[in-house]
A and B are shown apart, each in its own frame.
Chain A
Amino acid sequence: MARVPGVMRWMLGLLADEETGTGLLSDLEEEFEDLVITKGVRGARRWYRGQALRSGLPLLRWRFLRRDAAWRRGLRILLWSGLVRDARYAVRSFLGAKGFSVVVVLTFGLGIGANTAVFSLVHSVILDPIPVPGGDRLVTLWRQEQTEGMRPLVPPAPEMVRAWQEEQGIFEEMGAYSEEEFHLLVGVTPVSVRGARVSPEILTIIAAAPTVGRLFSPDDARPDGPRVALLTEGLWRRNFGSDPGAVGRSVVLDGESHLVVGVLSAFGRQILEAGFFGDQRKELLVPLAGDGMGAWPAGANVVARLEPGLSAEMAQERLDVIQDRVVPLIAGHSEWFPFVSTPQQALGLSFRRGLWVMMGGVGIVLLILCANTATLLLVRMMGRAREFQVRLALGAGRLRLAGQLVMESLIQGGIGILLAIFLAGWLVDGAKWVARDAVPEVRAARVDPEALAVAVVLGLATIVLFSLIPALHLPRIRPAGALGRDARRERRSRVGWTAHRSLVVGQVALALLLVVAAGLLSNSLVRLLSVDPGFEVDGLAAVSLDLPQGRYDDPDSRLALFDEVVGRLEGRTGVEAVGWARFVPPRVAGALGSIRIDGQTPLIDESPEPQAGNWVSPEYFGAIGAPFLEGRPFTGAEVSDREQVVILNQSASRRYWPNGGAVGSRIQLVSDYGPSPWLTVVGIVPDIKAWWLGDAQDRVQVYLPASDVPPQSGAFLIRAGGNLGTALSMVQEEIQGLDPTLPVGETFWVGDALRQSVARQRFQALLLTSFGTLGVLLAVLGVYGVLSLSVVRRSREIGVRLALGATGGEITRSVVLQGLRAITLGSTIGLALSLLSAPLLVDLLWGVDPKDLPTLAAGVGGVLLAGLAATFLSARKATGVDPVEVLRRE
């Protein structure tokens, strides 16, 4: 008897659904048999093939478009009857497995929260530093001097600004500001307040809004305009008790009466303090008077918003093109070029790179998190296999069960995402607090809604995907298994097992990568913090004093004031040492010029590192506790008589007089203004960290007598016990005793300022360490989960072995070995990744090689130990297998 073509029959069976299939196939066979008689076997087979081929499309359409097609049914179930029931069931099962649910919620919350927070920070610092309309088109305009070697950027001269402004189509809006410190008299107490002079356009550019009153009008900025001032919310709250009546009141600023016209919103102030408009705090604003034609006084910083569609590079090109026309307009400034800088350029490259490393860290945490969630869900799935078997056997649809798994995970993930939203807020606030001084740009940071949306979508996708992985395992669960004895078949999915093991290997590798990076950064931070600053930091307080303009204009009167205060303080009980200087480390001034050594060639020293300079009183070195290596401090007479003397540091002495003999030699400082008189070296002091704790080892430091350039501001350095308030009140009393109108400025521990100088490094180390910890925790959880899963899978084998006389130790060993293999492989991969990514970290490290062997070893050791602990925990589960129970099940 002729047979129908098998392939075609099989294909039709596949295409048709069950109820159509039987009838269709039998009908075809019937006709086929008739045709064999009339047309022969070959004719009949040809006919059959034709029928089969032409039936394909209609059958498929029928199968998938019919109203009660399986997927439509599933969707309906999911959407209607099932949804509510599933949700209820999911909540029940959530509460039933609290530990598991809490772990899933926490991993989700932490991972997505941290991800959103760091992305928000990166976004606010790098991608969108000025979150106002058109903020991405803001630039700062500079004049770049054409001097040899260093090419400093200085604010453009008023004539240049006017010439640029007249050029159409480059700048939409231009404004200027200059940072300033004001003396505000509220009642009778003078306070020193940081702030700025701003042109009204600046407030337009930042789209500032007043909390009370108004902002500046163009009239306010006329040269003969009214004397007005804007408070910011903080100052208004502190010094005016948030009284709306403060607006309209007069305050005395730098000795002159100003009318308060309004209060700037907190957000407006955040933008002004976010690094683009200088890095000083701004609590008070006064108008920057222009000449009425848009030109501002020399020295003001000029910012501009570019025309839409114009990039900073294009603006730069336009300015370069008109340069030839602009140069002749400006007398005395021939050797310069315009320079357009973006907010991003203002940030250090290393800091930007650092943030990307942080982003990488977060990404890795997210990856580990995903792998971990998958593992957790799989483990839980195996634990619930029996439950599903029973439910399948009782007639539950597989789709229903899958839908329910999705629903359960959605509920867990949903709670996790809620947690993540709060966590992201806290983390951003925390980061703002930690990094407020190190990275002024974060001050305007807030949780970025887009970042949050991306993370939430990512989170939801992850949830659905990973709850579908166990759902895909569902078909392998045989309903009979629950009632029969073939549960052991579950064990046979080698593919799934390999996937689990790769998840563990991946997690361990990524965790190690994070741990090593965190270790390197922490190591670098510890080294920075343990650097010897070169003087006695403990107990050294600094109190700054800024003299108002228009008074103490005579250098001698300034010198007399500072000296008098020091003299009075020296006489007080409790004061161990006191001195004063223009600058306090780590905020010492930069290059004073090249150094020319008397009697040596080459005469001009082109030192690779810029030097640090300071103007100090005779008592300064005694006060900061820096011993003289050679020579002596300045004498009082040398300071008051303006003698040509200088003190250098050890590095300078070594560099210029390698054979000794520095003291008594003469040097000259050669700056843009020409050479200084010859200065006689009277002393050599140790190198101190002038700029930050990680300051270059061999930086040349130059100290001049405080009389040389008598400063408008200076600071007292005082040792008076362990209380900062005591030091402040002592200095305050003495100053007020001499001149009651003088306010004291900042008071701080020099040690704090030094530690603060590595705040950026601290911030980065802190972030990466938390990532590393999180990563290891997650990886340990993953190792434990997968090994527990393997123990569950092998429970029959373990039970039989125990029954045959294997000891608990042997079982433990076999489980631990199994885990150890995965962990070792993961660590090896992680180590390789660490070595490969080492170059990325170079910029972030100080005094530590990115391939630092001890750190690598410690990281590997730590991860191995943590992994071992996890394997032992799951091995204990294995020895808990009851052989009797297992054999009974057989």
Chain B
Amino acid sequence: MPKRGHLAEFELYVMLAVFRLEGGAYGVTIRQEIQDRAGRPVSIGAVYATLGRLAEKQLVEFRVSSPLPVQGGRSRKFVSLTPRGLEALEHSTSMLQRMMQDTPLAHRS
């Protein structure tokens, strides 16, 4: 695994949120997903900054949707994991799991 594929904590959260949301991941949903599941307040700026960094590492990619078919409808910037992003996510989570194995922490999850 190349070093640049290594994920920081918040990056991992964002990646997991994108993964969970499947096709529906964009700024709003990612922010809400992390906030709801992790129970930690998240600013939209942090989400975007992290997405930018992940995109720079080629772990996520953007796809701008065509505007919603309502008046004043916006286009959304959807996020999805690249194959490389998926690989990095698997690597990071399995690493985490292996580290937690056989510790009292492993039973709580």
Chain A interface residues (CB < 8 Å from chain B): 12, 15-16, 19-20, 22-24, 26-31, 50-52, 54-59, 61-62, 66-68
Tell me which of B41, B48, B74 has the highest count of chain A C-beta atoms within 10 A of its own C-beta.
Answer: B48
Whether a CB of chain A sits under 8 angstroms from the CB of B46 is yes
Complex: how many Å from CA A59 to CA B44? 9
Q: Which of B26, B27, B45 contacts A59 (CB 8 A)?
A: B45
Chain A residues near B74 (CB, 8 Å)? 26, 29-30
Complex: how many Å from CA A32 to CA B47? 16
CB pairs A–B below 8 angstroms (13 shown): A23-B26, A23-B77, A31-B32, A52-B45, A54-B46, A55-B43, A55-B44, A59-B48, A59-B49, A62-B52, A62-B53, A66-B52, A68-B56
Complex: how many Å from CA A19 to CA B64? 11
Complex: how many Å from CA A22 to CA B56? 18
Size class of B's contact patch? 20 to 34
Sample of 14 further A-B pairs with CB below 8 A, known A20-B52, A55-B43, A55-B44 = A23-B27, A27-B76, A28-B44, A30-B74, A31-B31, A31-B32, A51-B43, A54-B45, A55-B45, A55-B46, A56-B45, A58-B46, A62-B49, A62-B53
Q: Mark B8-50, 1 if CB is under 8 A from A, else 0.
A: 0000000000000000001110011000000001011110111
Chain B residues near A59 (CB, 8 Å)? 45, 48-49
Tell me the nearest residue of chain A to B46, going by C-beta.
A58
Complex: how many Å from CA A19 to CA B52? 9
Q: Mark B48-76, 1 if CB is under 8 A from A, else 0.
A: 11101100100000100000000000111
Tell me which of A16, A22, A27, A59 has the highest count of chain B C-beta atoms within 10 A of its own C-beta.
Answer: A27
State how many angstroms separate the Cβ of B53 from the closest Cβ of chain A. Answer: 7
Chain A residues near B49 (CB, 8 Å)? 20, 58-59, 61-62
State how many angstroms separate the Cβ of A667 from the closest Cβ of chain B. Answer: 101
State how many angstroms separate the Cβ of A830 from the closest Cβ of chain B. Answer: 57
Is the beta-carbon distance between B45 and A58 smaller than 8 angstroms? yes
Chain B residues near A54 (CB, 8 Å)? 41, 43, 45-46
State how many angstroms separate the Cβ of B96 from the closest Cβ of chain A. Answer: 23
Complex: how many Å from CA A30 to CA B44? 12
Is the beta-carbon distance between A24 and B27 smaller than 8 angstroms? yes
Q: Which of A12, A30, A62 contacts B28 (CB 8 A)?
A: A30
Chain A residues near B52 (CB, 8 Å)? 19-20, 62, 66
* 7 tightest Cβ-Cβ pairs between the two chains A and B: A55-B45, A27-B27, A62-B49, A54-B43, A23-B77, A58-B49, A58-B46
Knowing A23-B27, A26-B76, A67-B56 are in contact, say whether A16-B43 is a contact too (CB < 8 A). no
Complex: how many Å from CA A52 to CA B48? 12
State how many angstroms separate the Cβ of A9 from the closest Cβ of chain B. Answer: 12
Chain B residues near A15 (CB, 8 Å)? 45
Is the beta-carbon distance between B27 and A58 smaller than 8 angstroms? no
Tell me the nearest residue of chain B to A55, going by C-beta.
B45
State how many angstroms separate the Cβ of A310 from the closest Cβ of chain B. Answer: 61
Number of A-B contacts (CB under 8 A): 74
State how many angstroms separate the Cβ of B1 from the closest Cβ of chain A. Answer: 20
Complex: how many Å from CA A28 to CA B26? 11
Is the beta-carbon distance between B43 and A20 smaller than 8 angstroms? no
Chain B interface residues (CB < 8 Å from chain A): 26-28, 31-32, 41, 43-46, 48-50, 52-53, 56, 62, 74-77
Is the beta-carbon distance between A31 and B45 smaller than 8 angstroms? no
Complex: how many Å from CA A57 to CA B43? 10
Chain B residues near A27 (CB, 8 Å)? 26-28, 31, 44, 76-77
Complex: how many Å from CA A27 to CA B51? 14
State how many angstroms separate the Cβ of B39 from the closest Cβ of chain A. Answer: 16
Chain B residues near A26 (CB, 8 Å)? 74-77
Is the beta-carbon distance between B56 and A66 smaller than 8 angstroms? yes
State how many angstroms separate the Cβ of A48 from the closest Cβ of chain B. Answer: 10
Is the beta-carbon distance between A23 and B45 smaller than 8 angstroms? no
Complex: how many Å from CA A583 to CA B32? 106
Complex: how many Å from CA A50 to CA B75? 24
Chain B residues near A50 (CB, 8 Å)? 43
Chain A residues near B43 (CB, 8 Å)? 50-51, 54-55, 58
State how many angstroms separate the Cβ of A24 from the closest Cβ of chain B. Answer: 5
Tell me the nearest residue of chain B to A56, going by C-beta.
B45
Chain A residues near B26 (CB, 8 Å)? 23, 27
Complex: how many Å from CA A24 to CA B52? 11
Is the beta-carbon distance between B45 and A51 smaller than 8 angstroms? yes
Complex: how many Å from CA A396 to CA B52? 26
Chain B residues near A31 (CB, 8 Å)? 28, 31-32, 44
Is the beta-carbon distance between B44 and A62 smaller than 8 angstroms? no
State how many angstroms separate the Cβ of A30 from the closest Cβ of chain B. Answer: 5
Chain B residues near A68 (CB, 8 Å)? 56
Chain A residues near B45 (CB, 8 Å)? 12, 15-16, 24, 51-52, 54-59
Chain B residues near A55 (CB, 8 Å)? 43-46, 48
Is the beta-carbon distance between A24 and B44 smaller than 8 angstroms? yes
Chain A residues near B27 (CB, 8 Å)? 23-24, 27-28
Complex: how many Å from CA A55 to CA B62? 20
Complex: how many Å from CA A19 to CA B62? 11
Complex: how many Å from CA A55 to CA B44? 6
Complex: how many Å from CA A28 to CA B28? 7
Chain B residues near A61 (CB, 8 Å)? 49
Chain A residues near B53 (CB, 8 Å)? 62, 66
Tell me the nearest residue of chain A to B64, going by C-beta.
A23
State how many angstroms separate the Cβ of A621 from the closest Cβ of chain B. Answer: 99
Complex: how many Å from CA A62 to CA B26? 18
Complex: how many Å from CA A50 to CA B31? 14
Is the beta-carbon distance between B76 and A62 smaller than 8 angstroms? no
Is the beta-carbon distance between A16 and B48 smaller than 8 angstroms? yes
Knowing A26-B76, A27-B28, A30-B28 are in contact, say whether A51-B48 is a contact too (CB < 8 A). no
State how many angstroms separate the Cβ of A60 from the closest Cβ of chain B. Answer: 9
Chain A residues near B62 (CB, 8 Å)? 23
Complex: how many Å from CA A24 to CA B49? 10
Chain B residues near A28 (CB, 8 Å)? 27, 44
Tell me the nearest residue of chain B to A67, going by C-beta.
B56
Q: Which of B28, B31, B41, B48 contacts A20 (CB 8 A)?
A: B48
Complex: how many Å from CA A52 to CA B32? 16
Tell me the nearest residue of chain B to A57, going by C-beta.
B45
Chain A residues near B50 (CB, 8 Å)? 58
Complex: how many Å from CA A443 to CA B44? 74
Chain A residues near B28 (CB, 8 Å)? 27, 30-31
Tell me the nearest residue of chain A to B74, going by C-beta.
A26
Tell me which of B32, B45, B48, B49 has the highest count of chain A C-beta atoms within 10 A of its own C-beta.
Answer: B45
Chain B residues near A66 (CB, 8 Å)? 52-53, 56
Tell me the nearest residue of chain A to B43, going by C-beta.
A54
Q: Which of A19, A51, A57, A67 contacts B44 (CB 8 A)?
A: A51
Complex: how many Å from CA A758 to CA B86? 90
State how many angstroms separate the Cβ of A26 from the closest Cβ of chain B. Answer: 5
State how many angstroms separate the Cβ of A469 from the closest Cβ of chain B. Answer: 34
Complex: how many Å from CA A256 to CA B75? 111
Chain B residues near A23 (CB, 8 Å)? 26-27, 48, 62, 76-77
State how many angstroms separate the Cβ of A631 from the closest Cβ of chain B. Answer: 106
Complex: how many Å from CA A141 to CA B52? 77
Complex: how many Å from CA A12 to CA B76? 18
